[in-house]
Amino acid sequence: MVVRSLEHPERDAITIDGVLSALADPVRRSIVSQLADGHSEQACIAFDLPVTKSTSTHHFRVLREAGVITQRYRGTAIHNGLRREDLDWRFPGLLDSVLMAG
């Protein structure tokens, strides 16, 4: 059995470039919106997205590597969470303004 761990950038290592690029995609903003809207700690499959599963994997990965979300294995599923505090600490107001925009 392999230890299944997923790499997350440290709080300090989150870049504005990564975050803005990640949030510049409508599918990924939809993920972030749903996370902010109570879907926290849900599996990837629980999100309502207009793309196939493999494309969805890609988007979750981009968000994680940019430092926008956390992903932790729990059985076969993954718990996704928004890195609110880290984002607010790094770029105050950014997440809120994007979430407000719908």
Q: Residue 92 interacts with a second copy (CB under 8 A)?
A: yes
Of a second copy, DNA, none, which one sits near residue 102, judging by CB under 5 to 8 A according to partner kind? a second copy
Q: Is 94 in the site for a second copy (CB under 8 A)?
A: yes
Residue 60 contacts DNA per CB under 7 A: yes
Residue position matching structure tokens 């926008």:
68
Q: Is 5 in the site for DNA (CB under 7 A)?
A: no
Closest to a second copy by CB, 67 or 78? 67
